[in-house]
Homo-oligomer: A and B are copies of this chain.
């Protein structure tokens, strides 16, 4: 069987399984999630062995340390995976929720019912825990899943798949609800993103290159996250302490996350006052500063000159670009032009500025007087997230269970016909 035939079969099986999981009740889905968590803990040794096999191959092939780190599954990681599934089980089930039922003049009663999307394809890279996390979230939202992890995590992913299938079976559900591809052929990805008849949405998780390529080639809707080029704008009406704390937190709380600030914008009338204090704070944490001309006049030559490339860059590193803007309009223009529409914050005490910033900044999360680091599924109370979307269609910002569902219209009548 060639890859195309294999993927057609996988797709058909997923579509069929999606009907079963779509009408499974909450109790059955939660039982399955706990049974998978139990199986993962029970099979700890097998998981560690499989992971060691992947790590050994990685080392042999000269894999970089950061990649090996992402690939590693230790005892704590295994416990976390199981715990994550139990947390998903504890979340309220969104499927079947009926809302907005109201009578129309014709006498029909119209509302919406929340329903699963159907089949979700997840394409990801080295982290094996995504296999359990993503499958668990999709399962709870009533969807069947096709999972395609990185070939470097093949054995780990197959071992996790074994636990998932065992859990599903113990809960009386077909194992086919979650399929982890058994091929490492790259052509399988091309097939998976070109089967709208079998796959309803693709969620690519990984580097920008992977996501951009999949988005460009997909014939299936994609929920994606490209860049996290986030801004904090300090207005001249800001409270200096809040400005200091938020800017330091947004940059230095963690450097590698997508909601980390990458460019700081400061109102010209406030720059001379706040920048020296901020720079001292950043330098104390070892952050390299790159600034516009005005910034360098205020802070001196320890600040590297910033250019357009800096405004466009998601450093994911202890580097920060700083620009002094003449007013909030220029700040908003900068953010909408150079940003990635992910998360942007203003620090201000002025009502009108806060209101305008909220309205005019075109990003998935727009904040007033809070650190950009809050933009994630746990902080937003979604329980868990499949990713953070920088798209506007369907799901925007952190995507949790609701983003893995849709709504259909329901109409209740007593024999109404259209006149």
Contacts and interface: CB of A to CB of B under 8 A. Distances in A.
A221 interface: yes
This protein's copies in its complex: 2
A359 B114 CA distance: 9
A394 B394 contact: yes
Interface stretch (A105-113, A177-185, A275-283, A292-300): A105-113
A53 interface: no
B406 A392 contact: yes
Nearest to A397: B409
A367 B415 contact: no
Interface in A214-246: 215-216, 219, 221, 239, 241-242, 245-246
Contacts of A398: 409
Interface in A180-232: 200-201, 215-216, 219, 221
Contacts of A113: 358-359, 366
A412 to B, nearest CB: 5
A278 to B, nearest CB: 14
A115 B358 CA distance: 11
Nearest to A220: B393
Contacts of A379: 104, 106, 108, 418
A371 interface: yes
Contacts of A115: 362, 392
Contact of A414 (B358, B369, B391, B410): B369
Interface in A376-419: 379-381, 391-394, 396-398, 406-418
Contacts of A411: 345, 365-368, 370, 374-375
Contacts of A216: 219
B110 A242 contact: no
A327 to B, nearest CB: 16
A363 interface: yes
A307 interface: no
Contact of A417 (B110, B201, B245, B410): B245
A216 B365 CA distance: 31
Nearest to A371: B417
Given A104-B381, A253-B417, A392-B117, A366 B397 contact: no
Given A336-B19, A407-B396, A411-B367, A418 B374 contact: yes
A417 to B, nearest CB: 4
A194 to B, nearest CB: 10
Contacts of A367: 108, 410-413
Contacts of A370: 108, 411-413, 415-417
A168 B371 CA distance: 40
A375 B409 contact: yes
28 contacts: A19-B336, A19-B362, A96-B359, A104-B380, A104-B381, A113-B366, A118-B362, A200-B392, A200-B393, A221-B393, A242-B414, A246-B417, A249-B417, A358-B410, A366-B408, A366-B409, A366-B410, A366-B411, A367-B413, A369-B413, A370-B416, A371-B417, A371-B418, A373-B418, A374-B416, A394-B394, A396-B406, A396-B408
Given A106-B379, A249-B417, 18 more contacts: A22-B360, A104-B379, A104-B381, A106-B374, A110-B381, A117-B392, A118-B362, A200-B393, A201-B392, A201-B393, A221-B393, A221-B394, A253-B418, A354-B412, A365-B409, A366-B408, A369-B412, A374-B411
